[in-house]
Structure 1
Amino acid sequence: MAYIPKDATPSTVAAHRDATTAYDLDDRQDFVDARRGLIAPIDNSAYAYLADDAPCPHTVNPSLWRQSQVLHTGGLYEVVEGLYQVRNSEIANLTVVDGEDGLVIIDTMTSVEASRQALDLFREHVNDKPVVAVIYTHTHVDHYGGVKGIVDPADVAAGKVAIIAPGYEFEKHAIGENIIVGNAMSRRASYAFGSLLEPGARQTVTCGIGIGPGGPGRTVSYLPPTDLVTRTGERRELAGLEFEFLYAPDTEAPEEMHIWIPELKALTCAENAQHSLHNIQTLRGARTRDARNFARYLDETLERWGDDTEVHFGPHTWPVWGNEEVVEFLSSQRDTYKYIHDQALRMANKGYTAIEAAEILELPEGLGRKWYNRGYHGTVHHNVRAVFHKELGLWDGDPVTLHPLPPAESGRRYVDLIGADTILTEGRRAFEAGEYRWAVEILHKLVFAQPDNTEARELQADAYEQMGYQAEGPQWRGVFLTMARELREGVIEQTFSSVAGDIVLGMSVDLLFDYAAVRVVGDRAANCDLRIDFTFTDLDETWTMWVARGVLHARRGASDLAQLHLTGTKAALIATVLQPAHAGEALESGIVTAEGDRAVLATYASVLDELDKNFPIGVPERVGRAAAGGVGPSRHGVTIGNEASNTSSSSP
């Protein structure tokens, strides 16, 4: 039976009416710019309800509705002569620079299917020159995941195609982010990006910076860089054009860079500037970013190229044309990040906590009424809190939060003190009064104390739903509406895991063992004492791994103390390290050879946890599931005999 959300309440209708005073809804320039240069459309009929003249429904914040309408037209666009983009077939863009003797691709979208469709569209309508270089602007999967839809790995290996990326540690961050906490990040992303909801005015609208994360069954790929940019001012000549780079680490990604193409007077600041406020701390979960660095590198970009730039294009949303317009756009985005950073720390120095500061701080009108500074990816509220986290850490300074009770225990005590009926009564009163934040807070205690209390779950779902309808930020909307559905229907299974085959195969050996280490059940391995040597034949490397006192370590080189020595290719040994319980098949087939005590593998397997990608988020069932491991079958996407399985859907 199809899931049917409820309608907006009068309180939500009123909140949307009041919110419009903060928006300049008469400004339609974005609609003009986003349609400029369209050569060939992509079928986005699933989003037909977002037509430019469609009235805003009561179940969507008017600002988010406008942004989603701007985004709903997808296709191949000419930005300027020699520069093209395919936009809005998924969350990210594919940019094509048409050089004299080939094509340079800037960012590859998330999946092989999306990037192949985009390049085919370009070749059908423009030309079929070969791809001579791919540039990854930064370390996020929606900017490298489609690379194998663009180039043949054999051409990269043969030196026919360069892959250029920023920083000394691009691979560490690009792959590590998706692996080490990939299971948790994937689950959180499925809420934030609305991938467990259906397109529609009562469910997911758009991602705010792109039409959507894409459907299930997509293939995420990876090819390592062949050329790293590590200094501002470095240049490369590609396809007869000069590309100059500004290295901008610790901004929107740990490794990121801006690109200037002087012959085209074209600039991209990657995701450090786009038609939305970005995240200082992502809701999907990633390292907290430095808001001051956003401003610092945008200012440096203006200083270097601001006088000459005629167009700014990005890996999300649409371009900005004209020197005056580009300079104002970049200056305003720079000032927005600087304002959030400085004002958050001013409040911190006055003794405010992160939540208190986030409730007070708003952008001044000169920044806040700019559409490209609105919160379609990050929001001012959670970005202020992120600045506190970046600079001051997890504790807010109030002793009561230093050692709090876990939610289930806190909920039980609240219910014992107040009574379930009293909490339900107050939750119902708060809902009817439009006090949805208070309703979900007080009902959270009851839901965690009594997970089977259907009335409490339903009422909390109703409140979350209205919070989702009111949210301007699509990720807030996605989180609230997905939680409402989970409370009503139970855990919704996702098809995506960021721990995809190509990503796993791209791991360095040290990262492989780091990933294995975070799967060790500490108390189960507390009295363990095992050591295994691994020889990676295709890397000509031997590593020793040991588990003792609940901890897994690894070092380069063999050990005289190893109880078992395994030999094979990296692909085969990855599967053995991550799935030792299934290593017998590899040993029997000869993919992996062993010397020593094979029983050690069984001991090793017994201390590894299994990761359930469908764990619940806002209900307490996860507490029992997590105890001492054993939470279901492994879903890390790599199996003996199919070490490079790549199929998954993905979110950035």
Structure 2
Amino acid sequence: MPKTPKNPTTATVETNRAAAERYPMSDQQDFEDAHRGFIAAIPDGKTLADNGNVIFDASKYDYLKPNEAAPESVNPSLWRQSRVNVDIGLFKVVDRLYQIRGSSMANLTIVEGDDGLIVIDTMTGVETARQGMDLFRKHVTDKPVVAVVYTHTHVDHYAGIKGVVDPADVASGKISIIAPGTVESFDKHALGENIIAGTAMSRRASYCFGGMLPQGPKGMLSVGVGLPVNVGDTITYLSPTDPITRTGETRRIAGLTFEFLYAPDTEAPEEMHVWIPELKALTCAENANHSMHNIQTLRGARTRDARNFARYLDETLVRWGEDVEVHYGTHIWPVFGNANVLAFLESQRDVYKYIHDQALRLANKGLTPIEAAEEIQLPPELGRHWYNHGYHGTLNHNIKAVYAKELGWWDGDPAHLFPLPPTESAKRYVALVGAEAMLADARGAFADGDYRWVVELLHHLVFAEPDNTEAKNLQADAYEQLGYQSEGPQWRAIFLTAAMELRNGVDAGKAINTVAEDVVLNMPMDLLFDYVAVHIVGMQAGSADIRVNVTVDDIGEEWTFWVANGVLNARKEANPDARLTVGGRKAAVTEFLLNPSAVGGLVDAGKLRLDGDRGALDELAALLDTFDPNFPIVTP
């Protein structure tokens, strides 16, 4: 029978009470700013899929609304942040600028121009975006959308696009999509991030964002920079049509000026800040948030440059700092008033500069990433601001990320250069110490509230003896208490999910999946071949000799891909020596590449043409690996 969460221990209760005494819990300004300009709630507090399934339900967060002290199972800072986030609905930020907040992890920002709407970011899925547009049109205006702005390449900011616009209007040029970087670069990073390593990223995201946890004080609260990761939202994609590749570019849209600061290699590989001078309104996308951001995401993505965060925030202050009156975030609530916006941006700038500089200071003194992360704290001048707390990134793992960015994965300790695999080393530790001795020590450490040691010690025992129920349950208990104490919602979710899976196994039905069909179908061919290539079982393909021409009818491209020497390569040209030629529309070609065994059905349906040696298909199919989206994490 599945085991339910346990109560916080005395040690956890005392830890959280001590945390509350350190925080300015009486500060209510964020609550006032979050509610300012409220117009309407989302209908019935719910977002529904076309089939009637509930994607988002605001009532699940009702327990956060009363102004009560944090439960003993929640860090009081995280409880406060989650409570601010429950202001859900349509808000007027300033004249002509509105936001839908709360029903998706990211905001839908709508700017009212003279004769049309400019939408900045589109939430995580079609259903939430469509609902947001409907709510806006009901209460504000039904002007048509004339442009969309993607601030950066992350899925929660572009995936609702088909709930905002008709793709035919984009294709015809009636609606432009403005985005940072070249179209090719934006496509590459937006589409590739969640696909090439998508199975691993999805599994880790299921831990980070708490999607498998029950809602409530002993489970999922919020993701810090928003309430939910909505499972069931339809993820879509349309390529940009109007690229921004340098700072200072402007667009005049529906009577308003949009000026852009190009900020690549920051929170996303392609990112930009957007200034609307007529409204004195600015967004720095996710380079400035009501939270410290990730320098390295725990879900898994390319490590970011903390120095660039600071550099572009400072450039923003120089360009628009004297005039700005509101910062409208792409997540959660705005910052109002020139003095407040300047203080916010300056402080966020200095946080990222501090993280970068102090990590490298200690690296140059010989400290390893783990040692540096234990030592570095924010100075009070930075740490006192709520928006510098670790509600998305945390100081501890960001310090380690700077090491990874600047120095690579090795921490400099020769003992860590060529270690044994975890299961092998675990068996040797258990053989050396003895399972009973390890359990006895872990029991004592748990009683003392030393949960980090319990987790570290029992990790060896669980990996050496995965059927040792007592070890798994005690480690789960320790993870749970670490979760209850965590200020960072991703740390909380990771620890609580670890506890749940140690006790109950993997719940495959609640897994996050970023490999969405519409995203795969929109991948440019070179990226699609990269995705296929990571499925090749290298050792089995060492002696392979497979060369196939591919004609993609609807985009007018011809490619050759070949498998030899254990790898799949591709070129944008046909090869006269190919064993087989495959032709059809991109959707059918994509299905063939990812599942060669399905070719027969596609040919019979008239979706694919084949010419040549069909045996190449069987050889290719035999070399493709499959990925289990529910691979084990806390057990071997």
Which of 599, 603, 607 is the equivalent residue of 1:587? 603
1:242-284 CA distances to partner (integer Å, 9 max, x unpaired)? 0000000000000000000000000000000010000000000
- 1:394-405 equivalences in 2 (<5 Å): 394-405=409-420
1:482-530 CA distances to partner (integer Å, 9 max, x unpaired)? 0100000011213431111111011111101100111101111122111
- Give the drift of 1:330: 0.2
Equivalent in the alignment of 1:254: 269
- Give the drift of 1:538: 1.3
SS at match of 1:79: strand
Equivalent in the alignment of 1:359: 374
- Give the drift of 1:20: 2.2
Contact 1:52–1:70 (8 Å) recurs in 2 = no
In structure 2, how many angstroms separate the alpha carbons of the residues matched to 1:567 and 1:45?
Answer: 50
Equivalent in the alignment of 1:19: 19
Residue 483, structure 1, aligned to residue 522, structure 2: no
Equivalent in the alignment of 1:333: 348
Equivalent in the alignment of 1:264: 279
In structure 2, how many angstroms separate the alpha carbons of the residues matched to 1:401 and 1:49?
Answer: 46
In structure 2, how many angstroms separate the alpha carbons of the residues matched to 1:54 and 1:294?
Answer: 36
Equivalent in the alignment of 2:408: 393
Which of 103, 126, 134 is the equivalent residue of 1:112? 126
Aligned residues between the structures: 619
Equivalent in the alignment of 1:81: 95
Give the partner amino acid of 2:191. Answer: I
Which consecutive unaligned segments of at least 5 residues does structure 1 have?
Answer: 621-652
Which of 77, 90, 107 is the equivalent residue of 1:63? 77
Equivalent in the alignment of 1:521: 537
Contact 2:219–2:496 (8 Å) recurs in 1 = yes
TM-score, structure 1 length as denominator? 0.94
- 1:209-220 equivalences in 2 (<5 Å): 209-214=225-230, 216-220=231-235
Give the partner amino acid of 2:335. Answer: V
In structure 2, how many angstroms separate the alpha carbons of the residues matched to 1:418 and 1:582?
Answer: 53
Residue 205, structure 1, aligned to residue 221, structure 2: yes
Contact 1:101–1:239 (8 Å) recurs in 2 = yes
SS at match of 2:367: coil
Which of 483, 498, 516 is the equivalent residue of 1:500? 516
- Give the drift of 1:158: 1.1
Give the partner amino acid of 2:633. Answer: I
TM-score, structure 2 length as denominator? 0.96
In structure 2, how many angstroms separate the alpha carbons of the residues matched to 1:230 and 1:118?
Answer: 30
Contact 1:207–1:376 (8 Å) recurs in 2 = yes
SS at match of 1:571: helix
1:155-178 CA distances to partner (integer Å, 9 max, x unpaired)? 111111110100021110000101
Equivalent in the alignment of 1:348: 363
SS at match of 1:34: helix
Equivalent in the alignment of 2:476: 461
In structure 1, how many angstroms separate the alpha carbons of the residues matched to 2:556 and 2:104?
Answer: 40
Contact 1:202–1:469 (8 Å) recurs in 2 = yes
In structure 1, how many angstroms separate the alpha carbons of the residues matched to 2:30 and 2:598?
Answer: 54
- Give the drift of 1:541: 1.4
Contact 1:179–1:504 (8 Å) recurs in 2 = yes
In structure 1, how many angstroms separate the alpha carbons of the residues matched to 2:172 and 2:548?
Answer: 35
SS at match of 1:180: coil
Contact 1:266–1:313 (8 Å) recurs in 2 = yes
- The sequence identity of aligned pairs, in percent, is 62
Equivalent in the alignment of 1:9: 9
Which of 575, 585, 594 is the equivalent residue of 1:578? 594
Equivalent in the alignment of 1:641: none
In structure 2, how many angstroms separate the alpha carbons of the residues matched to 1:555 and 1:618?
Answer: 41
Equivalent in the alignment of 2:186: 170
SS at match of 2:286: helix
Residue 430, structure 1, aligned to residue 445, structure 2: yes
SS at match of 1:520: coil
Give the partner amino acid of 2:111. Answer: V
In structure 2, how many angstroms separate the alpha carbons of the residues matched to 1:91 and 1:433?
Answer: 38
In structure 1, how many angstroms separate the alpha carbons of the residues matched to 2:89 and 2:233?
Answer: 19
Equivalent in the alignment of 1:273: 288
In structure 2, how many angstroms separate the alpha carbons of the residues matched to 1:372 and 1:96?
Answer: 24
Equivalent in the alignment of 2:49: none
Equivalent in the alignment of 2:334: 319
Which consecutive aligned stretches of 4+ in structure 1 deviate over 3 angstroms post-superposition? Answer: none
In structure 1, how many angstroms separate the alpha carbons of the residues matched to 2:373 and 2:179?
Answer: 35
Equivalent in the alignment of 2:51: none
- Give the drift of 1:4: 2.1
- Give the drift of 1:52: 4.0
Contact 1:275–1:371 (8 Å) recurs in 2 = yes
Equivalent in the alignment of 1:90: 104
In structure 2, how many angstroms separate the alpha carbons of the residues matched to 1:3 and 1:128?
Answer: 50
Give the partner amino acid of 2:585. Answer: T
- Give the drift of 1:3: 5.5
Equivalent in the alignment of 2:546: 530
In structure 2, how many angstroms separate the alpha carbons of the residues matched to 1:561 and 1:401?
Answer: 47
In structure 1, how many angstroms separate the alpha carbons of the residues matched to 2:511 and 2:426?
Answer: 32
1:428-453 CA distances to partner (integer Å, 9 max, x unpaired)? 11111101010000000000000011
1:409-433 CA distances to partner (integer Å, 9 max, x unpaired)? 0110000000010111111111111
- Give the drift of 1:54: 2.7
In structure 2, how many angstroms separate the alpha carbons of the residues matched to 1:61 and 1:179?
Answer: 34
Contact 2:536–2:568 (8 Å) recurs in 1 = yes
In structure 1, how many angstroms separate the alpha carbons of the residues matched to 2:569 and 2:628?
Answer: 24
Residue 418, structure 1, aligned to residue 418, structure 2: no
Contact 2:533–2:568 (8 Å) recurs in 1 = yes
1:550-579 CA distances to partner (integer Å, 9 max, x unpaired)? 111111111122111101111110110111
In structure 1, how many angstroms separate the alpha carbons of the residues matched to 2:88 and 2:539?
Answer: 52
In structure 1, how many angstroms separate the alpha carbons of the residues matched to 2:111 and 2:297?
Answer: 30
Give the partner amino acid of 1:421. Answer: E
Give the partner amino acid of 1:183. Answer: T
In structure 2, how many angstroms separate the alpha carbons of the residues matched to 1:132 and 1:154?
Answer: 13
Give the partner amino acid of 2:41. Answer: P
Give the partner amino acid of 2:360. Answer: L
Equivalent in the alignment of 1:635: none
In structure 1, how many angstroms separate the alpha carbons of the residues matched to 2:67 and 2:17?
Answer: 18
Contact 1:277–1:378 (8 Å) recurs in 2 = yes
Residue 568, structure 1, aligned to residue 575, structure 2: no
In structure 1, how many angstroms separate the alpha carbons of the residues matched to 2:595 and 2:142?
Answer: 44
SS at match of 1:133: strand
